[in-house]
Amino acid sequence: MFEISRRRAARQYFWGASLSLSLSAAAAALALVAGLLGSVAQAAAISLLNVSYDPTRELYEDYNKAFATYWKAKSGDDVTVNQSHGGSGKQARSVIDGLPADVVTLALAYDVDALASQGALIPANWQSRLPSNSTPYTSAIVFLVRKGNPKKIRDWSDLVRPGLEVITSNPKTSGGARWNYLAAWAWALKQPGGTDATAEAFVKKLYKNVPVLDSGARGSTVTFVERGIGDVLLAWESEAFLAVKELGHAKLDIVAPSLSILAEPPVAVVDKVVDKRGTRKVAEAYLKYLYSKEGQEIAAKHFYRPRDLEVAAKYANQFPTLPLVTIDAVFGGWSKAQATHFSDGGTFDRIYSQ
């Protein structure tokens, strides 16, 4: 009797096992077929990959649609632009490690320089290939504060008050954070009796008031706006306007300091990738279209300062007037600023580790 039941049990186990095995095999096969079909469907149209920094998500979502329409009318081809966003330094690192970006639209020139110096993906003179230092739009660094400015934050000098919490991201990984840091430095330098030593002391005091360093600008915005941490956010002008627009005027105010820095987020075609993929023509057109009236309008609508004078005049009212210094004038360009301030063992390491 036991013999029979055991044999039956064994048979049941066997069929159960076979059934589950064949089911999982079928599932795997289905997934494989679906994947193959998917890749075939993708290959039929031209696709570009734009690797960008954190706060440009909304800008490029709009711009990619406009460019697809423009390119369809011009060449008859369908083009899909895929987006990847993250901290600017981190994104550059990914492209160097092999992320196949046709174009990069990063937060600052140094990160694009890295593609030339560390990856040999683009020539060293990339910045002269497009007008205005390869920067189709610019921005500035402003303050975002709680509604009604309860802590009375008006200028950089207010940020070092004891007990105030300043939110900014990590300059090691975030482009916006590097602009924040340099803007603070430039302001301190322009004060009466300002030297590199007084500027360093000021920036050091400022970072003493920073409770948390996120890795990207958008992370910092979420920390400040959604999690409600901190009294003031140092932000890209575009990011500040977007936060106010998305989350209502009832919660936040923008404060323009007495001096800020002209933030130039550059764009570049990644030669090694486009030549391999055969997408050079459309990638170049993609970046050139940013300089067109339509491209400039879209940038302005997303609170980036347009380069085109006509479009800039049209949207002049929307931006606060504030004196802007350039990185070339105050810091002698990005390579120098990066080496002095943000390289390992540079000024930022010195002031933040102490």
Partner 1 sequence: MSYNFQTSYSTASRKRPRRLYLGRIILIAVTLAFLAAFLLLPLLAVFTQALAKGVGAYLAAISDPLAWSAIKLTLWVAAIAVPLNLVFGVAAAWAIAKFDFRGKSTLITLIDLPFAVSPVIAGLIYILIFGAHGWFGPFLQAHDIRIVFAVPGIVLATIFVTFPFVARELIPVMQAQGKDDEETALSLGANGWQTFWRVTFPNIRWGLLYGVLLCNARAMGEFGAVSVVSGHIRGLTNTVPLHVEILYNEYNYTAAFAVASLLALLALLTLAGKSILEWREPELYHAARRQQAIQRTRRS
Fill in the DSSP letter of residue 119: T
DSSP 299-337: HHHTTPEESSHHHHHHTGGGSPP--EE-HHHHHSSHHHH
* Closest among 108, 156, 116, 345 to 255, alpha carbons compared: 156
Query: Could you say whether residue 45 binds partner 1 (CB under 8 A)?
Result: no
Contact set for partner 1, span 64-103 (CB under 8 A): 82-86, 94, 96-100
Query: Could you say whether residue 230 binds partner 1 (CB under 8 A)?
Result: no
Q: Which of 276, 281, 336, 350 binds partner 1 (CB under 8 A)?
A: 276
Q: How far is the CB of 143 from partner 1 (least distance, A)?
A: 20
CA angle 162, 166, 168 (to 5 degrees): 150
Q: Which of 8, 16, 69, 332 binds partner 1 (CB under 8 A)?
A: 16
Residue 26 or 124 with smaller CB distance to partner 1? 26
If phi over 0 gives left and psi between -120 and 50 gives alpha, with beta otherwise, what is residue 194? beta
Q: How far is the CB of 7 from partner 1 (least distance, A)?
A: 10
Residue 56 or 338 with smaller CB distance to partner 1? 56
If phi over 0 gives left and psi between -120 and 50 gives alpha, with beta otherwise, what is residue 137? beta
CB 263 within 8 A of CB 236: yes
CA pair distance 213, 280, nearest whole angstrom: 38
Q: Which stretch binds partner 1 (CB under 8 A): 52-60, 154-162, 184-192, 334-342?
A: 52-60
CB 193 within 8 A of CB 128: no
Q: How far is the CB of 26 from partner 1 (least distance, A)?
A: 10
Q: How far is the CB of 203 from partner 1 (least distance, A)?
A: 27
Residue 59 or 199 with smaller CB distance to partner 1? 59
What are the helix and strand counts (H, E) for the chain? 16, 12
Q: How far is the CB of 112 from partner 1 (least distance, A)?
A: 16
SS3 helix, strand, coil % of the chain, rounded to 5?
55, 15, 30
Residue 182 or 244 with smaller CB distance to partner 1? 244
Q: Which of 31, 36, 37, 313 binds partner 1 (CB under 8 A)?
A: 31
Contact set for partner 1, span 101-130 (CB under 8 A): 119
Contact set for partner 1, span 286-345 (CB under 8 A): none
DSSP 131-200: HHHH-SEEEEEEEEEETT-TT---SGGGGGSTT--EEEE-TTT-HHHHHHHHHHHHHHHHSTT--HHHHH
Number of residues located near partner 1, criterion CB under 8 A: 40
Task: Give how far the C-alpha of residue 207 lies from the chain's centroid of Cα atoms, to the nearest Å.
Answer: 22
Q: How far is the CB of 28 from partner 1 (least distance, A)?
A: 6
Residue 15 or 323 with smaller CB distance to partner 1? 15
Q: Which of 19, 27, 316, 339 binds partner 1 (CB under 8 A)?
A: 27
Query: Could you say whether residue 2 binds partner 1 (CB under 8 A)?
Result: yes
Q: Is 7 exposed, middle or buried (0-12, 13-18, 19+ CB in 10 A)?
A: exposed
What does the binding site for partner 1 look like in residue numbers (CB under 8 A)?
A: 2, 6, 9-10, 13-14, 16-17, 24-25, 27-28, 31, 34-35, 38, 49, 54, 57-58, 82-86, 94, 96-100, 119, 218-219, 222, 226, 243, 246-247, 276
